[in-house]
Amino acid sequence: MTSALARCALCAALILPVALPSVPGEGGGAPDTGFESIARNGIKHVYNLEFESAEKEFQELTRLRPGDPAGYFFLAMVQWWRIMIDIDDESNDAQFYAALDGVIGMCDSLLDKRPDDVNAIFFKGGAIGFEGRLKFHRNDYLGAASAGKKALPLVREARDLDPGNSDILLGAGIYDYYADVIPSEYPFVKPFTLFLPPGDRQKGLRELETASENGKYASVEAQYFLLQIEYFYEKDFTRALALAVDLHAKFPANMVFHRYAGRAYVAVNNWESARTEFAEIIARARSGMRGYTPPVEREAEYYCGMAAMLARRFEEALGDFERCDAISRQIDRGEASGFMAMANLKMGMVYDLEGKRDLALVEYRKVREMANYQDSRDLAKQYLDSPYTR
């Protein structure tokens, strides 16, 4: 999980993910409430991974206002979440890039006619930001950084033109927070951020809080980023748990929010609640529910095993760890994953607690042959020399 955290951190530092911006009315007048209602319904469907329903809503936006980039941007976001639920699947990349290019082209046409069109500025910044996010996930770090450099001035310009728009604070808050925090946390990021303006940790937090509380369209995305910040960087796990539980309650079919609820319960040492969440994740994965992929199931099996082990339900724990290991052997590419290493280590520890030393030694020897993860190899050597007893 450490490498995944660094990956997410670099992504946030390099790129400006301007998501779900405000949709003003035609000609800068009062908002079209019918249009807004459709947009909000579509956004709810996106976050609940109901992609077909979301597309119907956003296609209606493009029918109502064919010259407005809003509907087209939101249609691209459907593709983004299709990618996010299985980030290793690149089959949706081309369609996503094409959709973003269409949004950028439409915005450029609008800006040629009216350079201060805040709607066009905002959606162009959002499209460039999301283009950069995917480039980062595909290991195109320079392309991602270039996208961030292009997107940031657009967000700042939009904020100057519409200072009362809380949705704009999403992108600003993400940038201000991560641009301050990430270079010190991950020094390897610094070469990619030298040409970007400095950030402000506290200002970023305030901006994200405002966006989460007052944003029309960006409140959920702001809350999601606050959740990640509280969990990974601020280490306020009680706050992270409250955010995760709230998001999961609002969007019960979103496996990302579901996983964070389980992880946050682990972080506050509420293992029984964690097991309840992860057991539900396993059930959903086995039923084939959208987004509950084998990597999601593997994580859930591991944490269920940890909960059972701590409760001294050893046979139950072994079953969970064995299933975690089996899934890892199906999906790991190249070297063994951290989940495989830790599942085998924990199996050895459980066998030691059961007094089955011969079986424990088999597991520890396996771990010694795997890549090191959170000192897994050193711990395996320690327990090879003397049994685990705690």
Residue-wise pLDDT tens digits, 238-278: 999 999 999 999 999 999 999 999 999 999 999 999 999 99
Pinpoint the residues of the chain covered by CATH 1.25.40.10.
259-385
End-to-end CA distance of the chain: 25
Rounded distance, CA 265 to CA 387, Å? 29
> In the prediction, which pLDDT does 304 show?
98
* Residue range 61-106, pLDDT digits in tens: 999 999 999 999 999 999 999 998 888 889 999 999 999 999 999 9
3-state SS, residue 148: helix
Percent pLDDT > 70 in the chain is 89
The confidence band for 12, taking pLDDT boundaries of 50, 70 and 90, is: very low
Across 138-152, 179-193, 212-226, the highest mean pLDDT is recorded for 212-226
- The two structure tokens encoding residue 125: 């910044």
> In the prediction, which pLDDT does 257 show?
96
| pLDDT(383) > 70 | yes
Name the residue with higher pLDDT: 112 or 5: 112
> In the prediction, which pLDDT does 199 show?
85
| pLDDT(196) > 80 | no
Q: Within 10 Å of residue 372's Cβ, how many Cβ atoms?
A: 14
Rounded distance, CA 67 to CA 112, Å? 14
> In the prediction, which pLDDT does 387 show?
97
Residue 389 CA, chain-centre distance (Å), reads 37
Q: How far is CA 227 from CA 71, 80, 86, 177, 238, in A?
A: 27, 20, 20, 13, 10
| pLDDT(18) > 90 | no
Angle at 244 between CA 242 and CA 247, to 5 degrees: 105
Percent pLDDT > 90 in the chain is 68
Q: How far is CA 150 from CA 14, 103, 233, 277, in A?
A: 11, 15, 26, 40
Q: What is the pTM of this model?
A: 0.88
DSSP string, 338-350: HHHHHHHHHHHHH
Rounded distance, CA 48 to CA 213, Å? 20
CB 202 within 8 A of CB 29: no
Alpha-helical (H) ranges within 140-189 are 141-161, 168-185
CB 378 within 8 A of CB 372: yes
Q: CA nearest 277: which of 294, 250, 309, 255?
A: 255
> In the prediction, which pLDDT does 26 show?
40
Superfamily of domain 259-385: Tetratricopeptide repeat domain (1.25.40.10)
Q: CA nearest 105: which of 160, 31, 97, 140?
A: 97
- The two structure tokens encoding residue 278: 């992860």
2-234, which class in CATH? mainly alpha
